[in-house]
């Protein structure tokens, strides 16, 4: 005879799996964040350094993808910015939005100044 999990255990498992989901997903060959907006990496950030060099006015134009330490898993890690806030990184590279992207699917920051690139899975 099979034993079934109580219904409360099933709900608890479902809640845990949804909390562990990343705020990032692949879409149309790039990584996207909230609202399916394209995410970018910056060549001047050194992968694995645990730092972002995009601060101040740079971060106004390229808002960082903020994160909680619990969101780090697999290829994703969390770095601490100069202001003490945490940012999500993919394969060691901090992730950013581009303030000029107006709608989901926009990739207007890809190749900007030859140092900004759409993040690719």
CA 35 to chain centre: 12
Of the candidates 14, 17, 9, 20, the one whose C-alpha atom is nearest the C-alpha of residue 73 is 20
Under 8 Å between Cβ of 81 and 55: yes
pTM assigned to the model? 0.81
Residue 15 has pLDDT above 60, yes or no: no
pLDDT tens digits, one per residue of 48-78: 899 999 999 999 999 999 998 788 889 999 9
Question: Residue 21's pLDDT is what?
Answer: 59
């Amino acid at each position: 005879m099979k034993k079934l999990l109580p219904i409360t255990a099933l709900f608890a498992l479902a809640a845990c799996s949804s909390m562990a989901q990343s705020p990032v997903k692949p879409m149309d060959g790039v990584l996207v964040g909230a609202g399916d907006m394209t995410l970018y990496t910056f060549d001047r950030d050194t992968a694995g350094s645990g730092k972002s060099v995009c601060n101040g006015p740079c971060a106004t134009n390229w808002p960082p993808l903020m994160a909680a330490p619990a969101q780090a898993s697999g290829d994703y890690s969390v770095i601490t910015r100069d202001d003490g806030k945490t940012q999500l990184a993919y394969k060691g590279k901090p992730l950013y939005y581009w303030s000029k992207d107006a709608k989901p699917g926009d990739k207007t920051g890809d190749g900007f100044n030859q140092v900004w690139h759409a993040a690719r899975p």
